[in-house]
Amino acid sequence: MRDAYHEELDSIGDSLVEMARLVGSAIGRATTAMLDADLNLAESVIAADEKVDALQRDLETKAINLLARQQPVATDLRIVVTSLRMSADLERSGDLAQHVAKVARLRYPESAVPRDLHATILEMGQLAQRLMAKTGEILITKDVDLALQLEQDDDAIDLLHRTLFQHLMDDRWKHGIETAVDVTLLGRYYERFADHAVSVARRVVYLVTGDYADEVDPATAAAAAAGSEEAPAEEA
């Protein structure tokens, strides 16, 4: 009986790792789809999000069954409850990757991103993907140090986000309003994606150390650290 129990607990952990893998891949492919104006790739990212949603539903069912039948307490109980919240973060990250892909689809055959912003957006996409890969690793290894490193990657994304806004606010912006709207939303999607990855990593820290690191909202913390009152998007 006890073995089945730990198998169920492991299975929940495996689902989280798989979700992180899928959404990390999705944000990378969505970024490529957008920069290359690759419609097929965009469609494939959009369709693949269903897999992430299904994993979350399964995880929720598994968690509720485990709570009902095994009635875990103490650490195991916290693991199950926290897993539910982590799965919500990961599911939402998947939505955000899908949003990027939908912007790509909407602007096809053009790229939604003007040429002079490709490098910034590419870097945001790569950082977001790397952040999520690390989150997946943290879910497996419970490596608290790696989780704390993640904050730096998140700061790097915030910095890129700010760069994006400086471009937008520059008087020489020549790409019109539609592109400004696209770039504003894309910046927010990447930033929120990173927030969710960091949030998952913080919950792992909390499970391992018992510290309520997750009480701090990543976006708020980052904005406060960066003194970003000047950039409304950082408040997002």
Q: Which residues bind a copy of itself (CB under 8 A)?
A: 53, 57, 60, 63-64, 67-68, 71, 73-74, 77-78, 81, 84-85, 88, 95, 98-99, 102-103, 105-106, 165, 168-169, 173, 177-178, 180-182, 184-185, 188-189, 212, 215, 217, 219-220, 229-230, 232-233, 235-236
Residue closer to a copy of itself by CB (options 64, 119) is 64
Closest approach, Cβ 211 to a copy of itself, in A, equals 14
**Residue among 144 and 219 whose Cβ is closer to a copy of itself:** 219
Nearer to a copy of itself, 105 or 130 (CB): 105
- The nearer residue to a copy of itself, 146 or 221, going by C-beta atoms, is 221
**Residue owning tokens 């790097």:** 156
Q: Which residue has 């069954």 as its token pair?
A: 65
Number of H helices, E strands in the chain: 7, 0
* DSSP character at residue 171: T
- 132's CB contacts (< 8 A; 6+ apart) are 20, 23, 24, 27, 93, 193, 197
- Give least dist CB 193 to a copy of itself, A: 13
Q: Which is nearer to a copy of itself, 124 or 134 (CB)?
A: 124
Least distance between a copy of itself and beta carbon 228 (Å): 10
CA atoms within 13 A on the CB side of 197: 38
Query: 36 or 230: whose CB is closer to a copy of itself?
Result: 230
Nearest to 204 by CA among 129, 130, 146: 146
CA distance 42 to 30: 6
At residue 204, what is the residue type?
A: V
Q: What single-letter amino acid sits at 103? A: V
The CA distance from 64 to 67, in Å, is 5
Q: Shortest Cβ distance from residue 44 to a copy of itself (Å)?
A: 16
* Closest CB 163 distance from a copy of itself, rounded Å: 14
Burial of 47 per CB tally in 10 Å (0-12, 13-18, 19+): exposed
Nearest distance, CB of residue 14 and a copy of itself, angstroms = 20
